[in-house]
């Protein structure tokens, strides 16, 4: 090829690429159709390359994290812990999402595989249609005395399995996310969502469509949805538009304005400890707002709210002493050596607004999970913590000593996510024989 023609072709190609890049930058600001074509194509190609290990079944890339602890399985089991407890784990274990009931020494009592594609014939209603089971992520799992478990896939369906893993019911077509919780009437309360894509005239101010709406869902014991309420409506009804728009972004796209990640009912046996609330009230965790609120059972009136000191928090719990404990994901020292410190658990008095750290955020207690994670106060005053993206659960005494630990090992250098670890007294279960055909 002649030198002049080669130069001409190269210059033309550079012009096309440069023009496309410039158009893409302009379109990204305007968020028009050009944005979808230029950036959507590039992002799709990038995603496909990144997903190859997942699609080939060679590595569960979405669940892998660097290990922070030595060992595998139960690595600490001190006599100071309650040796009779059973512990329900949920996470990515042995090649898939699983729930597993174990003794404190690691002996497996029962095991459930949580397969999105086996439970849902058509999972396309998930917010992100999972190409494989390794693209579907579960959160916490709850269990009945008979050994049935209930769990939800992240921004997907919820399911109930019996103790032998047989589906009792599922919720196809309903987008739930994060952990379900029991209600006093035997039903289930859980966060959910819906993609709102209607004319802007039909969308409540201040949003412009499309956007992702967070919802509070209630289901009966048979898995039928019996209640839903949108958080945008709740905040507008309570004259809290200023909090909705506090970030300055009026277009929430598909990420959600609130990211509701927990709904918990105040039970009658704890209600007397909270004179400002009533049995049946609901506590909501709004991650994107660093906010915890308590509403009436119908989600009409906000009775209490607190913003911080937690950051991107999860799993607020009512406690028998009238306080609320919260898992604070926070930030780690790599972001700011003076203001990081990693994750922690707070105890908050809603009557006085006083907050104290129970564990974490200080020397000798450093740990970090940027997303997910749970905690559970123990009857003896200990604290069970699940650091999801460290792939471990550990129990600490009030003095900060680790008396039990489980590491969800994947290989020499990595772990896979462990979403939840909850302890149960053996007397909780009506099951004496866990064997199944």
**Residue range 184-206, pLDDT digits in tens:** 999 999 999 988 887 767 776 66
What is the pTM assigned to this prediction? Answer: 0.88
Residues 6 or more apart whose CB falls under 8 angstroms from that of 307 comprise: 289, 290, 291
| Separation CA 242–CA 253 (nearest Å) | 19
Lowest mean pLDDT among 99-113, 167-181, 232-246, 252-266: 252-266
- Residues 131/55, Cβ–Cβ less than 8 Å: yes
| Mean pLDDT along residues 361-385 | 95
At 43, is the pLDDT very low, low, confident or very high (cuts 50, 70, 90)? Answer: low
| Separation CA 170–CA 180 (nearest Å) | 13
Q: Identify the residue with better confidence: 45 or 401.
A: 401
Q: In this predicted model, what pLDDT tens digit does every residue of 85-135 receive, in sequence order?
A: 999 999 999 999 999 999 999 999 999 999 999 999 999 999 889 999 999
Confidence (pLDDT) at 124:
95
Q: Identify the residue with better confidence: 24 or 380.
A: 380
Tell me, what DSSP letter sits at residue 409? B
Residues 6 or more apart whose CB falls under 8 angstroms from that of 385 comprise: 327, 345, 359, 360, 367, 373, 374, 375, 393, 394, 395, 396
| Mean pLDDT along residues 382-405 | 97
The stretches of 174-304 forming alpha helices (DSSP H) are: 231-237, 241-244, 268-271
Backbone angles phi, psi at 251, to 5 degrees: -120, 105
Domain range summary for the chain, segments of one domain joined by +: 1-58
| Mean pLDDT along residues 23-45 | 47
Confidence (pLDDT) at 53:
86
Residue 414 has pLDDT above 70, yes or no: yes
């Amino acid at each position: 090829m002649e030198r002049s023609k080669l130069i001409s072709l190269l210059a033309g190609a550079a012009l096309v690429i440069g023009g496309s890049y410039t158009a893409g930058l302009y379109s990204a600001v305007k968020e028009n159709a050009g944005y979808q074509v230029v950036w959507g194509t590039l992002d799709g190609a990038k995603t496909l390359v990144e997903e190859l290990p997942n699609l080939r079944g060679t590595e569960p890339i979405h669940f892998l994290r660097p290990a922070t602890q030595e060992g595998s399985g139960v690595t600490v089991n001190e006599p100071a812990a309650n040796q009779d407890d059973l512990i329900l784990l949920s996470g990515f274990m042995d090649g898939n999402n699983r729930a597993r009931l174990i003794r404190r020494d690691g002996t497996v009592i029962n095991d459930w595989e949580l397969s999105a594609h086996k439970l849902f014939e058509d999972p396309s209603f998930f917010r992100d249609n999972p190409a494989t089971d390794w693209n579907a992520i579960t959160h916490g799992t709850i269990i009945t005395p008979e050994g049935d478990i209930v769990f939800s896939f992240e921004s997907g369906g919820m399911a109930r399995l019996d103790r032998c893993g047989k589906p009792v019911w599922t919720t196809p077509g309903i987008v739930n996310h994060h952990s379900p919780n029991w209600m006093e009437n035997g039903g289930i309360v859980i966060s959910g969502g819906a993609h709102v894509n209607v004319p802007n005239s039909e969308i409540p101010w201040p949003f412009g469509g499309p956007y992702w709406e967070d919802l509070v869902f209630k289901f009966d014991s048979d898995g039928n949805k019996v209640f839903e309420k949108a958080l945008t409506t709740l905040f507008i009804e309570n004259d809290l538009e200023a909090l909705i728009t506090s970030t300055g972004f009026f277009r929430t796209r598909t990420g959600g304005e609130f990211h509701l990640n927990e709904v918990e009912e105040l039970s009658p046996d704890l209600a007397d400890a909270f004179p400002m609330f009533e049995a049946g009230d609901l506590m909501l965790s709004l991650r994107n707002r660093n906010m915890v609120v308590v509403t009436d059972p119908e989600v009409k009136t906000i009775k209490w709210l607190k913003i911080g000191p937690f950051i991107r928090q999860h799993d607020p719990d009512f406690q028998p002493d009238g306080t609320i404990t919260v898992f604070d994901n926070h930030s780690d020292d790599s972001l700011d050596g003076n203001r990081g410190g990693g994750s922690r658990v707070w105890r908050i008095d809603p009557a006085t607004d006083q907050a104290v750290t129970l564990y974490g955020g200080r020397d000798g207690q450093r740990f970090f999970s940027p997303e997910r994670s749970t905690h559970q106060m123990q009857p003896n005053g200990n604290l069970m913590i699940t650091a999801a993206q460290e792939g471990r659960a550990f129990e600490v005494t009030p003095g900060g000593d680790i008396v039990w630990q489980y590491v969800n090992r994947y290989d020499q250098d990595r772990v896979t996510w462990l979403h939840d670890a909850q302890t149960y007294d053996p007397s909780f279960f009506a099951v004496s024989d866990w064997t199944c055909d």
